[in-house]
Amino acid sequence: MKLNILSGIYLSEFQNGDEAALVEYLKVKKISYFTLGIPYPYKHKDALWWIKNKKQETKQQKQPVAFAIRQKNGELIGGIGFDGLKIGKSHKAALGYWLAKPYWGQGIMTACAKKLCGHAFKKFKVTKIIATCNPNNIGSERVLIKGGFRQEGYLKKDHIKNGKYRDSKLFALIRTSK
Ligand SMILES: CC(C)(COP(=O)(O)OP(=O)(O)OC[C@H]1O[C@@H](n2cnc3c(N)ncnc32)[C@H](O)[C@@H]1OP(=O)(O)O)[C@@H](O)C(=O)NCCC(=O)NCCS
């Protein structure tokens, strides 16, 4: 499956061979800091586990719910998806994403999030997409707002990261078409 985004950038399934790019780009501490499930330091075994897990998920759901963001030549430059989504079992999906640092600030994630949310409303039978982000993550908040999300709440001590409680802002996008 291929979802075209802009100027050669596209989304497709994670695949064997993505390990090197995952390890290279996820060595940036800020990416782990602002996300929930990405370990730091990120090792080859983490990449192998992720790819295997996502391939199994695609098989179970009969279509991918998590995607690699790729540039024209196919190289992985990020990830976006709905972790743990069981299609047809919930009306709600939780969006997560990260982008390799050299590509920040070019509008790539805003375009990816818009495209994937449209896809999810059509293909995953969801009516609500939620996303939580660190209150200091201005870039992620802008991605969500520009994608049509609205803030629904402020969650105190929402999760524990590196042994510390963290607050989150909760954003949501509701399907308007039937
Ligand atoms: C957050 C992240 C995905 C943004 O991706 P991106 O492709 O650089 O975002 P865009 O280029 O689409 O930018 C969207 C908006 O955010 C703004 N922005 C991006 N990074 C920013 C930053 N660090 N500080 C302030 N604003 C920022 C852009 O200027 C743009 O707003 P504008 O159009 O009003 O100027 C990327 O920085 C990233 O991967 N960060 C680490 C992981 C992470 O935070 N994941 C999200 C967890 S909730």
Q: What is the DSSP secondary-structure string of the chain? A: -EEEEETTEEEE---TT-HHHHHHHTT-HHHHHHSSS--SS--HHHHHHHHHHHHHHHHHHTS-SEEEEE-TT--EEEEEEETT--TTT-SEEEEEEEE-GGGTTSSHHHHHHHHHHHHHHHHS--SEEEEEE-TT-HHHHHHHHHTT-EEEEEEEEEEEETTEEEEEEEEEEE----
Please report the pLDDT score of residue 127 as a whole number: 97
Domains, in order of start, for the chain: 2-174 (3.40.630.30)
Who lines ligand 1 at CB under 6 A?
A: 30-31, 34-35, 97-99, 104-110, 133, 137-140, 142-143, 146
Residue pLDDT, tens place only, 55-76: 999 999 999 999 999 999 999 9
Most informative mutation of 117, 143, 173 for ligand 1 (most atoms within 8 A of CB) = 143
Please report the pLDDT score of residue 178 as a whole number: 72
Model confidence at 177: pLDDT above 90: no
Residue pLDDT, tens place only, 74-123: 999 999 999 889 999 999 999 999 999 999 999 999 999 999 999 999 99
Q: Is the pTM of this model over 0.75?
A: yes
